[in-house]
Amino acid sequence: MKKVFAKIISVGLILSMAGAMAGCTSKKSMTVKKGTLTMATNAYFPPYEYYEGTKIVGIDAEIAEAVAKKLDLELEIVDVEFASIIAGVQSNKYDIGMAGMTVTDERKEAVNFSSTYATGIQAVIVTEDSEIADVDALLAGEYKVGVQQGTTGDIYMGDDVGEDRVVRFSKGNDAVLALSTGKVDAVVIDNEPAKSFVAANEGLKILPTAYVEEEYAMCINKSNTELLDKINQALKELTEDGTIPAIIEKYIPSNG
């Protein structure tokens, strides 16, 4: 009788433990840190993300803040190398990646992307006395091109001119410094950061023709479809109520 009673207790304990574990699983947070939306970025890409004192600000930072508020979460921004953002999102180190990140087929194999929230143009920066007159001349010559590692500028230039002509830097401003000091002949980078870099560095200009046009979105772990759905809904609502257009207009005035 005691043995039967003991077996009943054991089975009861196992079922209770299984129920508790199932309960824990069902309450699992959709974010890496419960109550927090952790965003990985590379904060040297104005006006999308950059430092204002010790704070990271910009288009991506403000949109992420608005999305986090919609989801009743606190936003935490982590500044990392651009090339490590997707890997960090894949490994669930970060919830989202935002860094003026272009949606590409290659990246879609590694992560999911949210709805597009902005469009961008890859521009070419050269010195004011450069003999490079347009994009065709850049591609046809034997010029060294500076890019930020892991960006679409890096990918496109590697495909178009070959690896031996691409010089990679961890930050966009490092590539621009290399251009100013004659270490590279041109820099390919997003048009808005390009404007900021040219304004801050005498003797540089942007070529009049665009290199590539592209779309920006947040990257999210492929397994976290719950977060993807909630972010897409938040982006939809924030676009419809004018929040996102106002953020973009603040940093990139339409009459500017």
Residues 192 and 141 in one domain: yes
Residue type, 67: V
Residues 110 and 231 in one domain: yes
Residues 149 and 167 in one domain: yes
pLDDT of residue 29: 80
Q: Which among 142, 192, 197, 202 has a CA at the least distance from the CA of 169?
A: 197
What phi, psi does 52 have (nearest 5°)?
A: -120, 95
pLDDT tens for 4-30 read: 444 444 444 444 444 444 444 445 689
135 lies in some domain: yes
Mean pLDDT of 90-112: 96
Domain that holds residue 136: 121-214
pLDDT of residue 21: 45
Q: Which region among 19-23, 88-92, 110-114, 192-196 has the lowest average model confidence (pLDDT)?
A: 19-23
Q: Specify the residue for token string 């100013």.
A: 180
Tell me the CA distances in angstroms from 168 to 38, 40, 64, 171, 250, one per residue in order: 27, 21, 28, 9, 31
pLDDT tens for 134-187 read: 999 999 999 999 999 989 899 999 999 999 999 999 999 999 999 999 999 999
Residues 242 and 189 in one domain: no
pLDDT of residue 256: 52
Residues 207 and 236 in one domain: no
31 lies in some domain: no
Give the CATH number, domain containing residue 222: 3.40.190.10
pLDDT of residue 17: 47
pLDDT of residue 138: 96
Residues 111 and 224 in one domain: yes
What is d(CA 222, CA 95) in angstroms, rounded to the nearest whole number? 11
Q: Which region among 92-96, 217-221, 239-243, 252-256 has the lowest average model confidence (pLDDT)?
A: 252-256
6 lies in some domain: no
Residues 161 and 181 in one domain: yes
Tell me the CA distances in angstroms from 40 to 77, 98, 180, 220, one per residue in order: 6, 6, 29, 11
Residues 107 and 61 in one domain: yes
103 lies in some domain: yes
Q: Assess whether pLDDT exceeds 70 at residue 104.
A: yes
pLDDT tens for 26-61 read: 456 899 999 999 999 999 988 999 999 999 999 999
166 lies in some domain: yes
Mean pLDDT of 115-126: 94
30 lies in some domain: no
Q: Specify the residue for token string 């003026």.
A: 100
Residues 48 and 163 in one domain: no
Mean pLDDT of 207-223: 94
Whole-number average pLDDT of the chain: 90
Domain tally for the chain? Answer: 2
Tell me the CA distances in angstroms from 227 to 33, 85, 155, one per residue in order: 13, 17, 28
Going 62 to 119 to 141 to 126, the CA torsion angle's sign is: negative
Percent of the chain whose predicted confidence (pLDDT) is above 70: 88
13 lies in some domain: no
pLDDT of residue 9: 41
Residues 58 and 97 in one domain: yes
pLDDT of residue 23: 42
**Band (226; pLDDT cuts 50, 70, 90):** very high
Residues 170 and 100 in one domain: no
pLDDT of residue 28: 67
15 lies in some domain: no
Residues 134 and 210 in one domain: yes
